[in-house]
Amino acid sequence: MQRQSTIQRWCDRVIEAGWLLALALIPIYFNLLSSRHFEPDKATTLRAIVLVMIAAWLIRVLDGFGSRPPAPDAPPPDAASSPGNPFGGLW
């Protein structure tokens, strides 16, 4: 697993906060002063939250674009060839 930079961690937090906010806020949000009580205001609010989430995702992707891939680790030992496994040859 690749280590995350500080920017990537903040972007992850913004993305998670965005979908949690949308999940909690959109069902209860309505404007009594509007002639159309529910849908247009909810759609506008949801679009604004989604645009912020897309911007955070794009920043996260661009931040990780130039980083090097992690060094390959040694592969895990094969379960069938380990001497302590009595059922190793069955599959």
**pTM for this structure?**
0.65
Q: What is the pLDDT of residue 56?
A: 97
Mean per-residue pLDDT for 29-33? 73
Distance CA 37, CA 31 (A): 6
Condensed to tens digits (0 to 9), the pLDDT of residues 58-74 reads: 999 999 887 666 566 66
Q: What is the pLDDT of residue 7?
A: 92
Judged against a pLDDT cut of 80, whether residue 76 lies above it is answered with: no
Give residues with Cβ within 8 angstroms of 57, minimum separation 6.
11, 15
Mean per-residue pLDDT for 37-62? 90
Of the two residues 42 and 57, the one the predictor is more confident about is 57
Q: What is the pLDDT of residue 35?
A: 73
- Picking from 28, 20, 30, the residue whose alpha carbon sits closest to that of residue 53 is 20
Distance CA 68, CA 25 (A): 39
